[in-house]
Amino acid sequence: MFKEKAVEALRNSGLKITKPRLWIVEYLDGNKNHPTAIDIFQEVRREDKDFSFATVYNTLDILVKEGIIKQIKTEEKSCRYDPNTGLHGHFYCKNCGKLFDVDLKQTNFLDETISFGKVEDYEIKFYGICNSCIN
């Protein structure tokens, strides 16, 4: 599903379906870990799949621009990537660094910003200490 949608989006924009791009898309499909570019680079390359750093960044940039994945900035240096583009927020644990998905039921606060301009995207993040780190 995700992979098919990604491939179609790339194709529609006249972008090539290269091996590295497919590998990265496959890796991200259903991934709930919010990996960094470096995570992706390292983990995908484990499996006899060879490509360079530049390609990871290039591919991730393209996927973000195509709206296939989202980029998330946390308190850490490297940003993370999320194949889930639906409405949700994130909870970042300052202690263990884990990033949790947060459901957001009421979405009406989006309307509040209309006076500034055209909203294309939004990002809602919570910072704190997660339950397992509290205990």
Query: For tokens 């639906």, what's the residue?
Result: 86
Q: Identify which range of 73-81, 89-97, 107-115, 118-126 contacts DNA by CB under 7 A.
A: 73-81
**CB-wise, 23 or 82, nearer to a second copy?**
82
Q: Is 87 in the site for a second copy (CB under 8 A)?
A: no
> Shortest Cβ distance from residue 22 to DNA (Å)?
8
Give the count of residues interacting with DNA (CB under 7 A).
26
**Is the distance from CB of 108 to CB of 74 less than 8 angstroms?**
no
Q: Residue 66 class from Cβ within 10 Å (0-12 exposed, 13-18 middle, 19+ buried)?
A: middle
Query: Binding DNA by CB under 7 A: which of 28, 36, 68, 99?
Result: 36
Please name the residues in contact with 60: beta carbons below 8 A apart, sequence gap of 6 or more.
Answer: 24, 37, 40, 69, 71, 81
Is beta strand 89-93 parallel, antiparallel or unpaired with respect to 80-82?
unpaired
* Chain residues that interact with a second copy, rule: CB under 8 A: 73, 89, 91, 93-94, 100, 102-106, 108-110, 112-113, 115-131, 133-134
* Chain residues that interact with DNA, rule: CB under 7 A: 11, 14-21, 36-38, 50-55, 57-59, 61-62, 77-79
